[in-house]
Structure 1
Amino acid sequence: MTDSATPTGSAPEGAGPEALRQRALAALLTARERTALLTDSVDDHELTAQHSPLMSPLVWDLAHIGNQEELWLLRAVAGREAMRPEIDGLYDAFEHPRATRPSLPLLAPAEARTYAAEVRGRALDVLDGAALDGGGPLVRSGFAFGMIAQHEQQHDETMLITHQLRSGTAVLTAPVPPAATDTAGLPAEVLVPGGPFTMGTSTEPWALDNERPAHVRDVPGFFIDTTPVTCGAYQAFIEDGGYTERHWWEPGGWEMVREHELTAPLFWHRDAGRWLRRRFGVTEEVPANEPVLHVSWYEADAYARWAGRRLPTEAEWEKAARHDPASGRSRRYPWGDEDPSPELANLGQRHLRPAPAGAYPQGQSPCGARQLMGDVWEWTSSGFLPHPGFSPFPYREYSEVFFGPDHKVLRGGSFAVDPVACRGTFRNWDLPVRRQIFSGFRTARDM
């Protein structure tokens, strides 16, 4: 995936309507370019196959992307009549679990592509005439267009997970990420001083409802790992009996380990004394200096206990990533307020793997932590709960129905996340058993 010449991160506060229009256009085009890459790289049989019961067929994601764009940009924003009302139920993510979607009368690949393209053409006409400096909350600041670009990129990430789960030869390629060149003197952990900071946002135009509103949190001082936990460090946990010692595990995690006979992260296997992994159709030796990937919350939590540490809370993670003690304000990103670039973070499927631990020194946060944005989603200890003053928008099913202790929060994005769907306030969540996602972690400890 190549970078767009125009930044596609969330529009900064105060951007004018034409700047917002161009940013929305770039975000929509970038997302569609990536969707085409992920769906054109396999044949129709692979598009319609279910590569894992955890995931939808790729063709379902393709038509769902078009259907959501029609629902929000053509019907909700422009007030147009439905193009294909008979398919709404087929592509309702809440009506049909992923495991059952192959049995539905889905649009065939050619029909799904045609439908998505027709919707896109009409949506760009709507964007061209939208008054982004006025109107209702869906149109103001281009929110609905930004929401749809984020939605498509989130499904692109989901489709990339499907590519990782599929068997067969590699069909995706990308250059290797940059090396970590100045890590010899990096400390293992950095201090985040105690005190209040502003969590969340009330001003980011394309922030989603669960990121809002901004509010003050008082967080006691703590230490956090300078970089995500590496594969080499995680191997030490394995070799010290990490998967055989019950006392490191939460009860649900231990049950998962025993039921599925887990011995290592997903996609790892042992061969001739070496740890190997499968990555997008290629088998390779596990790189010791790369952040560990495809671990569940239970595995991250067990490692932290074994290491005599703990997972950071969500508030701790966000303070480490955003709080600038010099100014007393919270930044949009760890490095500042400017949009992500290739020198700052590993985002946008530019690479098909995390960068080595300690890479991207220009992207470090004020506390000195690196790679808080991009590379791997980072599990936190926190359940997914609303910020104080939360209000659902534009529909309850985006966030509100998932609130509670069952889902754990992940922060920071991964190499599979586009900048439009990743910022210092962006919140992801999943069940603690999930391993197919591009998840890693870092640990923390009290002062």
Structure 2
Amino acid sequence: MTAATRLKDRIAAELEEGRGRSLTYTDIDDDLLVRQHSPLMSPLVWDLAHVGNYEELWVLRALAGAEPTRPEIDTLYDAFAHPRKERPLLPLLGPAEARTYIAGVRGRVLDVLDLMEDGDLYGHDPLRAGGFAFGLALQHEHQHGETMLATLQLSGRPGLVRDGALPAGRPGGPAEVLVPAGPFRMGAGSDPWAYDNERPAHEVDLPAYWIDRLPVTCGAFAAFAEDGGYDDPRWWVPRGWRWRVRQGVTAPLYWTREPGGGWWRSRFGRMEPVPPEEPVQHVSWYEADAYARWAGRRLPTEAEWEKACGWDPRAGRARAYPWGDAVPGPGHANLGHRASRPAPAGAFPAGASRYGAEQMIGDVWEWTGSWFVPYPGFRAFPYREYSEVFFGRDHRVLRGGSWATHALAVRACFRNWDLPIRRQIFAGFRCARPASPEEA
């Protein structure tokens, strides 16, 4: 079997798995598919047809030069043409028509894949090399799978999302790990499916710092709330304080406090006690930053986060994941909707980085202190609207993926971003602090 054949077989298998996930999350009543459960999110039926339209644009048209299947719907599923709050008003494809459309596109995509030759996959055309266009479509569909889960959570309807078993946590151990001073290589190396905003790889020299071994837990965050953290403007940046007051935010999204003092949360339509050992999720950047200030810490920069996650100081190179280059296994991380919640803190010792930081991949996206800006030498590819239009001082960087993130759509150098007010995403954080000269 040639390398090209193995790559094609892998792409075909990944396409099947990704589509199965999309269809599973939309295998619900049509009324729930076409309804907008929050102005923050699209109707699920929009996401369903959008992943097929994106696949058609980049694999069938851009890669294979095929004629459009249904050009009249392109603007309906252009994420930049219509904000989410307006999408329910569009003449969208209905659930049955959307499924028929994406199935037809997929059949043609598999035909294109079947005709790909070694020279296509290992040539100089950047859309073909390494199967980039297929990887683009695959990662995009998995990203929308996570978006669908966030929408299903916002719906408040029970019984729509499966749960699963997770390993037990490990209480105790060091609270933070030291990352010594020195340079490291940041960004994507040879990964053919990495995005433009992950490139080019470049050297960054950092002073010594400490970073939490584990993400901040619900129990630790509850202590911040119970200590009046939401009521004290000392811990909040001015814009965050104004947002907190205007929105009346007093706890993470979906949390409520019982008269007796206990915390409860709504998780996919069911009420349950907040588990203190889980990493906290559904917090905005402003909340994460306020907690860090209250705790006498700060959020790590994305460079600090990436070095602690993926740099191997012994080998002097970056790893694809904290544990190495092996694809994530069940002992490494909580990814791919293994369960519909984060795993308890300390559940994945085998997933630790070289510096001893754990659960940096999976469980919760982690807010960093950095704005989403380009790396030196950045070049947009294959289109500006994926990354470039978001650069600036509006969006904060998140790293690491969540329990809802598919393993194919995350790596140590992967960069996510969102507005600092966003809470519907599966986001948490960990803290950092500078090392003193004596500690360093």
Separation (CA, whole Å) in 2 of partners of 1:312 and 1:133: 38
**TM-score normalised by L of structure 1:** 0.95
Separation (CA, whole Å) in 1 of partners of 2:333 and 2:237: 33
Deviation digits for residues 14-36 of structure 1 (CA, Å, limit 9, x no counterpart): x9322221221222111101001
Aligned ranges 1:107-122 → 2 under 5 Å = 107-122=93-108
Separation (CA, whole Å) in 1 of partners of 2:408 and 2:255: 31
- The residue aligned with 1:444 is 432
Query: How far off is 1:330 after superposition?
Result: 1.0
- The residue aligned with 2:147 is 158
2:31 to 37, 45, 54: 45
> Which stretch of structure 1 is more off in the superposition, 308-317 or 199-208?
199-208
Contact 1:180 1:358 in 2 (8 A): yes
- Give the residue type in structure 2 aligned to 1:49: R
Gaps of 5+ in 2: 436-440
> Which stretch of structure 1 is more off in the superposition, 149-158 or 268-277?
268-277
- Give the residue type in structure 2 aligned to 1:305: R
Separation (CA, whole Å) in 2 of partners of 1:162 and 1:16: 39
- Give the residue type in structure 1 aligned to 2:127: L
Contact 1:176 1:353 in 2 (8 A): no
SS in 2 for 1:90: helix
Deviation digits for residues 173-214 of structure 1 (CA, Å, limit 9, x no counterpart): 121321124x43x10000001100000023111001001111
Mapped pair 1:34 → 2:10: no
1:213 to 177, 197, 200: 200
- The residue aligned with 2:263 is 275
- Give the residue type in structure 1 aligned to 2:413: T
2:405 to 417, 429, 432: 417
- The residue aligned with 1:80 is 66
**TM-score normalised by L of structure 2:** 0.96
Aligned ranges 1:388-407 → 2 under 5 Å = 388-407=376-395
1:180 to 166, 169, 172: 169
Separation (CA, whole Å) in 1 of partners of 2:55 and 2:201: 28
Aligned ranges 1:252-263 → 2 under 5 Å = 252-263=239-250
Contact 1:27 1:146 in 2 (8 A): no
Aligned ranges 1:417-436 → 2 under 5 Å = 417-436=405-424
Contact 2:169 2:277 in 1 (8 A): no
> Which stretch of structure 1 is more off in the superposition, 122-131 or 432-441?
122-131
Percent identity over paired residues? 63
Separation (CA, whole Å) in 2 of partners of 1:17 and 1:200: 26
- The residue aligned with 1:65 is 51
Computed over aligned residues only, the root mean square deviation of the Cα atoms, in angstroms, reads 1.0
SS in 2 for 1:79: coil
Deviation digits for residues 207-252 of structure 1 (CA, Å, limit 9, x no counterpart): 0100111111001110000000000000110011000001100111
Separation (CA, whole Å) in 2 of partners of 1:84 and 1:321: 44
Gaps of 5+ in 1: 1-14
Deviation digits for residues 360-417 of structure 1 (CA, Å, limit 9, x no counterpart): 1000000001000000000000000111111100000000000011100000000010
SS in 2 for 1:410: strand
- The residue aligned with 1:245 is 232
Separation (CA, whole Å) in 1 of partners of 2:9 and 2:26: 26
- Give the residue type in structure 1 aligned to 2:208: G
Query: How far off is 1:129 after superposition?
Result: 1.2
Query: How far off is 1:135 after superposition?
Result: 5.2
Separation (CA, whole Å) in 1 of partners of 2:412 and 2:263: 34
Separation (CA, whole Å) in 2 of partners of 1:58 and 1:137: 32
Deviation digits for residues 51-90 of structure 1 (CA, Å, limit 9, x no counterpart): 0000000000001011011111111111111100000000
Separation (CA, whole Å) in 2 of partners of 1:427 and 1:436: 18
- The residue aligned with 1:379 is 367
Contact 1:332 1:424 in 2 (8 A): yes
SS in 1 for 2:177: strand
- The residue aligned with 2:303 is 315
- The residue aligned with 2:133 is 144
- The residue aligned with 1:9 is none
Mapped pair 1:306 → 2:294: yes
SS in 2 for 1:409: strand
- Give the residue type in structure 2 aligned to 1:243: Y
Separation (CA, whole Å) in 2 of partners of 1:168 and 1:415: 20
- Give the residue type in structure 1 aligned to 2:137: I
After superposing on structure 2, the runs of 4+ consecutive aligned residues of structure 1 that deviate more than 6 Å are none
